[in-house]
Amino acid sequence: MNKKNKILSIVLILTISTLIGISTSFDILHSRNRIILATTTSTYDSGLLDYLIPSFEERSGILVDILSVGTGYALESGRRGDADVLLVHSRIREDEFISNGYGIHRACIMYNDFIIIGPSNDPANIQGENISVVMTNLKNAGESGLIKFYSRGDGSGTNSKELSLWDLINNTPNSGIDSWYFETGAGMGNTLIVADENNGYTLIDRGTWLSTKDSVNLILLVEGEDFLLNPYGAILVNPEINLSVRYDLALEFVAFLTSKEGQELISSYKLNNETLFFPSFGHGNETYGCSTTDTEIEFWREYNGNYTG
Amino acid sequence: MVNEFIDGIIEAFVLLFSFDLEVWGIILLSLRVSGTAIFVATLVSLPIGSFIALREFRGKKALTNLINTFMGFPPVVAGLLIFLLLSKSGPLGSLGLLYSPTAMIVAQLFLAIPIIIGTSKAAIESINPDLKETILNLGANERQLWWELIKESKKSIIAGILVAFGQAISEVGAVMIVGGNIRWNTRTFTTSIVLQTRMGEFGMAMALGLILIIISFSLNYILTHLQMRDI
Amino acid sequence: MNLLEVRNISKDFVKNDDSVQNVLSDISFTVKRGKCFSIIGPNGSGKTTLLRILGLVENPTDGKILYLGKEMTNLSRKEKTKFRRRISFVRQKPVVMNSSVEKNIAYGLKVRGVEEREIQQKIEEIIEVVGLKGLEKKNARSLSGGEMQRVAIAMNFILNPEIYLLDEIFQNLDSMNVKLLDDFIMKIKQDKEKTIIMSTHDPFEAIKYADKIAVLNNGQIAQIGTPNEIFTAPKDEFTAQFVGYENILYGIAELDKGTGLSQIKVSDLIITASSQQEGEVKVCIRPESISLGKNPPSSTSLRNTFRGYIEKIRDLGNICQLIVNCNSEKFLTTITTLSLRNLELEIGSEVFISFKATDVKCV
């Protein structure tokens, strides 16, 4: 290699190295100016957040990076300080998270609902029945070899809801013993695909359903029961557990979610011309699946422009 | 399947030529991550690989075994380890590098470095020993010998780099874990395909897959072309 | 001080199956500056290994090498490189780098940090001399065998080193290159500051160039001496055979005090030799020393005359090798094909062979 090429290559290598150095520093800086919101895959896949967040980013200048993961992962990342704020829908686990000191200042944000879908000929005969009958019929049909049921089996909010429905009839199936009950261990999208391929029944959140129903053969069979409500809570990660948590920025975000503007945006989000999520901040009614406490309201009204739902 | 394939081809064209911001962002990010990883890996691994090839020292056999073993290290496990390292509650948490492209680069480095060390070492070792001695006899010192041997085994070394690049850009587990698949920020081809598939958007997933293939093939083609020429 | 001193060098190679092969043992010799030293021996005797050790690319298992009094065996890498730059090693089979002819030839100068301009000039000169003009930009590996050899020669001789190590370089040359190399070597020999150490399996090559010769047999030195010493007074059977005494017979010698000559009884023959030996000896006669005819020779200077018949004829073109059987002892001699025809000799023909007493060597 002659001198000219040698110099050229050295210059090239130095330039590229410098660029790499710059991009790495950029990554470090970027992380200082953003918050990480950990939420569930079904929430993210509904498209609500991509609709909601740009408004927030614009007015506050805070970037929100969204981790779309399983409920377990979301909570865990809160515990580790890798996320600054959580938006999940698994009340029992949320309460546990807070009582362990990892999260503070929970706020009820919204709710959507779950539905049960299945094959169009409904061999288990659950269409239009009330929830206890639905679950009992599913079980019986399964044991008779007429149907298959697909559970997410991944500790997600959806999964917790499903298990609580089996609890209603005191008869939770076991995928190891009951050959009609399957646990996919996967997200909602994948579970839906599997259920569709096998012409089985499953519990699904309305959001995912609305965006995917045209590509599957299963149909909606059960909806509207109180037991099928799916409330969402936002939790701030406790800055005391990890000093680098961006508490102030996260606070602003949740304040936005609970504000009039935020709550209106939530209710205005439509998928296939149907409203998916219903704002619930400030409503103390169990019917909405989320009892906003007075303490909550008092705390958040300070930040959200005095909105109490 | 044919439907999705056709959808995919159409979608791919539309996305590419309408300069869809998000898709181009994915393209640039994937290239940035894998490109950087291979660049750094090559700079680091070539000297190490040739050093091991050319020198005799105690424990050389053991080290060679180690490198070969690491070539088979499951990338996703590497991803997990890096995640634990960079997590806020991990030793390097204060850097705030988790869920960033840099973290993904680190994950791919883990993958690429053993491959390039292993292949460059093998390439240099397979050079005719008479040639090596001839170069020494002509008066080359160690550094000059090293450079000359790299030039001689250029083809094999480039092949090794191509393999490493292919592995890096196709990797999905580790980059998902350390990157978080965050929109506009850490979404690469592979992680996007997973997301789209999960969401049931098979056409889009296929489109991304096709674009990935095109890019991967083009890069390989260019590098192979360079390999054939006599630089 | 000697330019090079080799003391008790031995080399063992450990093979893949962990067995040890001894290639050189107890090699010692010295080389003075300005001289030409030749190492001769058959293939596999260890010549190349010895040269590689002298070229500082192989370490001996035992023993020392000293260049100008400085011990080479435990030198640092840097020092070794410095010494290597004073030596040039030309291999038997040419090995070139995968780049242009120019770059190959320039390489040695380049690594020594010689200026580009000077390199260009020297390349031009030597390319002219070795006859590679026009091929400068061509990839060295795409050349013919003969061209590649010339590149290898140019690569090394352009360096103008103090010491030349030449490993069987005449072995694979075509005749044009032989002349070229011969010119080069003769020129180098004229320079009293330059030393040559060459290995060959052709004893006559050694005779031509060397001031001193070492005979290598199976990794050990059989004899060291001047060409004359080696060829006229080989110390053992191996050396004798190697240097061309292809007739070696076994007999018992008796010294005839009267004539001062030895009479050696070899089976039924009595051979007269001028070397004063007694007891069991090996009798060595060169084929060229034996003359052949249909009738006994008229000259009496050929003290040894025997009658025999032609047992075998080997046609080598211009020359034929004949095996003549005299009383069951076989003699190898050569004769021109023309003479063979003129004398109408064939297998079974009765002939007389004769040779001088002084041409009989005993070891």
Question: Facing residues of C308 across strands?
Answer: C351
Residue of B96, B98, B199 with shortest CB distance to A189: B199
Taking an 8 Å cut-off on Cβ atoms, the answer to whether B136 and C95 are in contact is no
The B-side interface with C (CB below 8 A) comprises: 128, 130-131, 133-142, 144, 148, 151-152, 230
Choosing among B130, B134, B148, B152, which should be mutated to test the C contact, i.e. which has the most C CBs within 10 A?
Answer: B134
Taking an 8 Å cut-off on Cβ atoms, the answer to whether B180 and A80 are in contact is no
ipTM of the complex: 0.75
Question: Facing residues of C38 across strands?
Answer: C198, C213
The alpha carbon of B214 is separated from its chain's Cα centroid by a whole number of angstroms, namely 17
C-alpha span between A296 and A105 (Å, rounded) = 7
Q: In B, which residues are within 8 Å of A154 by CB distance?
A: none
Residue C345, helix vs strand vs coil: coil
DSSP letters for chain A = --HHHHHHHHHHHHHHHHHHHHHHHHHHHHHHTEEEEEEEHHHHHTTHHHHHHHHHHHHH--EEEEEEE-HHHHHHHHHHTS-SEEEE--HHHHHHHHHTTSEEEEEEEEEEEEEEEE-TT-TT--TT--HHHHHHHHHHHHHTTS--EEE--SS-HHHHHHHHHHHHTT----TTT-TTEEE--S-HHHHHHHHHHTT-EEEEEHHHHHHHGGG-S-EEEE---GGGEEEEEEEEEPTTT-TT--HHHHHHHHHHHHSHHHHHHHHH-EETTEE--EE-TT---GGGT----HHHHHHHHTTTTS---
C142: enclosing H helix or E strand: none
Contact present, B214 and B13 (Cβ < 8 Å):
no
Q: How many domains does chain B have?
A: 1
C-alpha span between C27 and C11 (Å, rounded) = 10
Residue B59, helix vs strand vs coil: coil
Query: What Cα–Cα distance (Å) separates residue A66 from each residue in A243, B164, B182, C63?
Result: 21, 30, 6, 72
Taking an 8 Å cut-off on Cβ atoms, the answer to whether B96 and A31 are in contact is yes
Choosing among B3, B44, B84, B99, which should be mutated to test the A contact, i.e. which has the most A CBs within 10 A?
Answer: B99
C30 by Cβ neighbours in 10 Å (0-12 / 13-18 / 19+) ranks as: middle
Residue of B130, B144, B230 with shortest CB distance to C139: B230
Taking an 8 Å cut-off on Cβ atoms, the answer to whether B198 and A190 are in contact is yes
Contact present, A300 and A293 (Cβ < 8 Å):
no
Bigger pLDDT: C131 vs B38: B38
Angle subtended by helix axes A247-258 and A260-268, to nearest 10: 60
Q: What is the pLDDT of residues C240-277, one digit of tens each?
A: 778 776 777 778 888 888 887 888 888 888 888 887 77
DSSP letters for A185-211 = -S-HHHHHHHHHHTT-EEEEEHHHHHH
Contact present, C158 and C122 (Cβ < 8 Å):
yes
In which domain, by residue range, is B66 found? Answer: 2-228
C150: enclosing H helix or E strand: helix C145-157
Taking an 8 Å cut-off on Cβ atoms, the answer to whether B198 and A45 are in contact is yes
Q: Hey, is the C-beta of C91 within 8 angstroms of any chain B C-beta?
A: yes
Contact present, C109 and C101 (Cβ < 8 Å):
no
Which parts of B5-114 are beta strand (E)? none
CA of B49 to nearest chain C CA: how many angstroms apart? 20
Choosing among C81, C87, C88, C101, which should be mutated to test the B contact, i.e. which has the most B CBs within 10 A?
Answer: C81
pLDDT of residue B133 exceeding 80: yes
Q: What is the DSSP letter of C139?
A: B
Pairing of strands C163-167, C87-90: parallel
* Domain range C245-362, CATH architecture: Beta Barrel (2.40)
CA of C110 to nearest chain B CA: how many angstroms apart? 9
Residue C254, helix vs strand vs coil: strand
Tell me, what's the pLDDT at B230? 52
Taking an 8 Å cut-off on Cβ atoms, the answer to whether C77 and B142 are in contact is yes
Q: In B, which residues are within 8 Å of C108 by CB distance?
A: 138-139
C-alpha span between A46 and A43 (Å, rounded) = 6
Pick out chain A residues at pLDDT < 50: none
Whose CA is closest to B14, among B191, B208, B219? B208
C-alpha span between A7 and A223 (Å, rounded) = 71
Whose CA is closest to A180, among A145, A204, A221, A140? A145
Residue of B133, B136, B148 with shortest CB distance to C97: B148
Taking an 8 Å cut-off on Cβ atoms, the answer to whether C81 and B138 are in contact is no
Taking an 8 Å cut-off on Cβ atoms, the answer to whether C77 and B135 are in contact is no
Domains of chain A: 26-112+231-301 (3.40.190.10), 113-228 (3.40.190.10)
DSSP letters for C22-51 = EEEEEEEEEE-TT-EEEEE--TTSSHHHHH
Query: What Cα–Cα distance (Å) separates residue B108 from each residue in B73, B104, C21, C64, C203?
Result: 12, 6, 47, 51, 63
Residue written as token pair 């181009």: B24
CATH number for the domain whose boundaries are C4-239: 3.40.50.300
Which residue type does C267 have?
S
C298: enclosing H helix or E strand: none
The pLDDT-based confidence of B178 (bands split at 50, 70, 90) is very high
Tell me, what's the pLDDT at A292? 67
Q: Hey, is the C-beta of C156 within 8 angstroms of any chain B C-beta?
A: yes
Q: In B, which residues are within 8 Å of A49 by CB distance?
A: none
Pick out chain C residues at pLDDT < 50: none
Residue written as token pair 């049960």: A116
Q: Hey, is the C-beta of B74 within 8 angstroms of any chain A C-beta?
A: no
Q: What is the pLDDT of residues A20-59, one digit of tens each?
A: 899 888 888 887 778 999 999 888 888 899 999 999 999 8
C-alpha span between C11 and C219 (Å, rounded) = 9
Taking an 8 Å cut-off on Cβ atoms, the answer to whether B141 and C81 are in contact is yes
C-alpha span between C100 and B57 (Å, rounded) = 35
Which residue type does C11 have?
K
C-alpha span between C118 and A144 (Å, rounded) = 96
Tell me, what's the pLDDT at C262? 84
b/e A7-36 (16+ beta carbons within 10 angstroms → b)? eeeeeeeeeeeeebeebbeebeebbeebbb
CATH number where B218 lies: 1.10.3720.10
Tell me, what's the pLDDT at B207? 86
Whose CA is closest to C295, among C244, C258, C334, C343? C343
Query: Token pair of C231, please?
Result: 């060829």
Residue C334, helix vs strand vs coil: strand
A158 by Cβ neighbours in 10 Å (0-12 / 13-18 / 19+) ranks as: buried
Residue written as token pair 């060291």: C224
Taking an 8 Å cut-off on Cβ atoms, the answer to whether A192 and B182 are in contact is no
Contact present, A48 and A277 (Cβ < 8 Å):
yes
Contact present, C343 and C361 (Cβ < 8 Å):
no
B-contacting chains (≥3 CB pairs under 8 Å): A, C
Pairing of strands A229-237, A85-88: antiparallel
Choosing among A53, A63, A67, A80, which should be mutated to test the B contact, i.e. which has the most B CBs within 10 A?
Answer: A80
C-contacting chains (≥3 CB pairs under 8 Å): B
C-alpha span between B123 and A255 (Å, rounded) = 61
Tell me, what's the pLDDT at A228? 87
Angle subtended by helix axes A294-301 and A247-258, to nearest 10: 110
Q: Tell me the domain boundaries of chain C.
A: 4-239, 245-362
Taking an 8 Å cut-off on Cβ atoms, the answer to whether A20 and B198 are in contact is no
The pLDDT-based confidence of B231 (bands split at 50, 70, 90) is very low
Q: Which residues contact B79 (CB under 8 A, 6 or more apart)?
A: B107, B173, B174, B175, B176, B177, B178
Residue C108, helix vs strand vs coil: helix
